[in-house]
Chain A
Amino acid sequence: MKKKTTIIALVLLAGIIAAFAVYQYTFNSSHRDIASEAVSISISAQSIQQEFSSNEASASQNYLDKVVAITGVVSEITNETLILDDQVYVVMSQPLASQIEIGEEYAIKGRCIGYDGLLEMVKIDQATPLNKTN
């Protein structure tokens, strides 16, 4: 008899833990960590901008929400953003190191969030620098 109660108690406990885990997983799961995700497409700033400006719908299908690696020449820089080749607008996830200079070639990895028709630039967020040696 005592054995039966222990078993029931254990099963109940396991059930509660499982329910809690499922709840945590569905309702409180953490955000995507773009920095640790693998790059799905590597492309130059110019090519991705051209793809978006010539056919936004198909480019959106290819790039939206994907982790992309983009290389270009830095044309503008602020504390947390940089512009590559005047064509790709990048929002970094951490403030940029101060040694980056305008005119320098630079590579980043980040999430493509779409095309800004006002600025005529492709936008990337949650970006991190890519090492040139990689």
Chain B
Amino acid sequence: MVKVKVVERPPADLVVQSWLPELWKGMKVTGRHFFVNLLTQKGIVTSQYPEVKRVYPPRTRGKHRLMRREDGSVRCVACFMCSTACPADCIRIVAGQRDDENEKFPVVFEVDFIKCVFCGMCEEACPCDAIRLDSGVHRAPAYTRKDELNGKEDLLSLGSLSVARQGGDLK
């Protein structure tokens, strides 16, 4: 059984209909904020972007980056795990052959930032610690759709060295 509380409407007498008391109350709040902010600048939530940038939390997922091996080559082996896991289907890979023991590498590795939802599934799926979203770089808007496609070089330019054992460590 729902309890119903009946709220009495205040009588619409002349004082209420004139709006003057309510207007006064509202102006008091606005005026208080105006003078407090003018004199003390305490508790202002507006940030002065771009002069002052907010610090993102450490686990923020920013733009993708591709990690490198000790020899500087890309760690990605083009296994398509990330593009398979991607719910937005925003990763396009074309695989190629390399002559060392790593055998396979991405000739094309493209992330479409229009489609990307920054869910982090790709970095979770990656068996090689090759793709990470920890660059801290916010995705910037672009003027054309083509500029939203970030290729291998763009993603590598944000990347750095990773010495994680390829394929992970079972022990």
Genuine A/B complex: no
